[in-house]
């Protein structure tokens, strides 16, 4: 659906040139919710703005639905852009227009007949739950309501792709969740491809199917959210995960302080609803080690349940090695915390 090939963006020239993206390759499938996560300055905004050519890449190709946008003339590009909706961190609504007029705006631009506009706006208002607010102005709305108007406006031309530029970063956690649920609902209902950029792990974990981690203008890791988050490889990904689970920090520090030659703290991660405590007992028994479960959490990545246990093994090195090897053979992911 979306393909970026060798995308490079350099701002400015000569000694002041800043490389924002360097040879980025990315493929995003139809109906996917694809997240790009990275720290400030990593190149997220540049990347998402290159998808609809709000920002022209210095080099590389942008393909959307089989069309190479980077080759199109002005009017063809305008036509293609109608199939790519976008929402923004600060909503970008027209402050002097009502909710109705904000949503109708892109339809009026393409000279849609009044009755069709009425019908479409009514449908969209219902979809985003703002029917009773149609005559209000943006200043009379909450942040979450403003973003709902932004979403309705972005969907007015029935796009195939929705780009979300830090769409929940200005919202409180509860409102963020309601907007994420709305995006998920729209994705399922219309099989809409959604690309979002964020610096928050929680956003990716809640609704994305796949994720790319961007750092210094390049993609350093990408894959299914379950793979990337549960088995992170790159240090930047690990950092994001640590920042999300700060609660583990003191526990892990205490564990490390206690670690002696006969005690080994490990983190066991598993997908699915099964808890694996009985497997752990059996494996530990066979290997000849004792264990204590120090912490257990169950959570979900999108709709996939997963669990993590922090366990302290007590036994000699060989026996704990056997236990870890057997747990790994059972398909569990075991990370030694010492």
The minimum distance between CB 8 and ligand ATP, in angstroms, equals: 12
Q: Which of 38, 138, 159, 315 binds ligand ATP (CB under 6 A)?
A: 38
Q: Which of 28, 34, 44, 161 binds ligand ATP (CB under 6 A)?
A: 44
Single out the segment in contact with ligand ATP by CB under 6 A; choices: 10-18, 118-126, 171-179, 227-235.
10-18
The minimum distance between CB 197 and ligand ATP, in angstroms, equals: 7
29 binds ligand ATP (CB under 6 A): no
Q: Which of 7, 24, 37, 43 binds ligand ATP (CB under 6 A)?
A: 43
> Per CB under 6 A, which of residues 277..316 are in contact with ligand ATP?
none
> Per CB under 6 A, which of residues 193..222 are in contact with ligand ATP?
199
Binding mask 157-196 for ligand ATP (x = CB under 6 A): ----------------------------------------
Q: Which two tokens stand for residue 53?
A: 């050519």
> Per CB under 6 A, which of residues 97..156 are in contact with ligand ATP?
none
The minimum distance between CB 38 and ligand ATP, in angstroms, equals: 5
Site residues (vs ligand ATP, CB under 6 A): 11-12, 18, 20, 38, 40-46, 199
């Amino acid at each position: 659906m979306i393909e970026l090939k060798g995308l490079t963006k350099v701002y400015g020239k000569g000694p002041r040139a800043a490389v924002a993206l360097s040879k980025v390759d990315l493929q995003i499938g139809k109906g996917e919710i694809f997240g790009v996560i990275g720290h400030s300055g990593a190149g997220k905004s540049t990347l998402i703005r290159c998808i609809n050519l709000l920002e022209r890449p210095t080099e590389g190709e942008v393909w959307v639905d089989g069309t190479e946008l980077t080759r199109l003339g002005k009017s063809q590009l305008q036509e293609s852009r109608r199939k790519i909706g976008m929402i923004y961190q600060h909503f970008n609504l027209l402050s002097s227009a009502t909710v109705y007029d904000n949503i109708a705006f892109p339809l009026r631009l393409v000279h849609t007949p009044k009755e069709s506009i009425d019908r479409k706006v009514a449908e969209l208002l219902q979809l985003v739950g703002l029917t009773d607010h149609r005559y209000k102005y943006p200043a009379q709305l909450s942040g979450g309501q403003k973003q709902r108007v932004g979403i309705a406006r972005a969907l007015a031309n029935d796009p195939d792709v929705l780009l979300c530029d830090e769409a929940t970063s200005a919202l409180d956690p509860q409102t963020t969740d309601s907007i994420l649920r709305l995006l998920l609902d729209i994705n399922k209902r219309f099989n809409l491809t959604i690309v979002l950029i964020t610096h928050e792990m929680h956003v990716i974990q809640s609704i994305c199917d796949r994720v790319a981690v961007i750092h210094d203008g390049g993609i350093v890791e990408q894959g299914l959210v379950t793979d990337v988050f549960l088995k992170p490889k790159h240090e930047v990904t690990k950092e994001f995960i640590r920042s999300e689970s700060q609660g583990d920090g003191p526990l892990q520090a205490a564990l490390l302080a206690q670690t002696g030659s006969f005690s080994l703290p490990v983190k066991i991660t598993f997908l699915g609803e099964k808890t694996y405590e009985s497997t752990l007992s059996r494996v530990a028994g066979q290997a000849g080690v004792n264990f204590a479960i120090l912490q257990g959490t169950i959570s979900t990545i999108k709709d996939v349940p997963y669990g993590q246990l922090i366990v302290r093994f007590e036994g000699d090195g060989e026996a704990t090695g056997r236990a870890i090897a057997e747990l790994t053979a059972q398909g569990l992911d075991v990370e030694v915390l010492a």
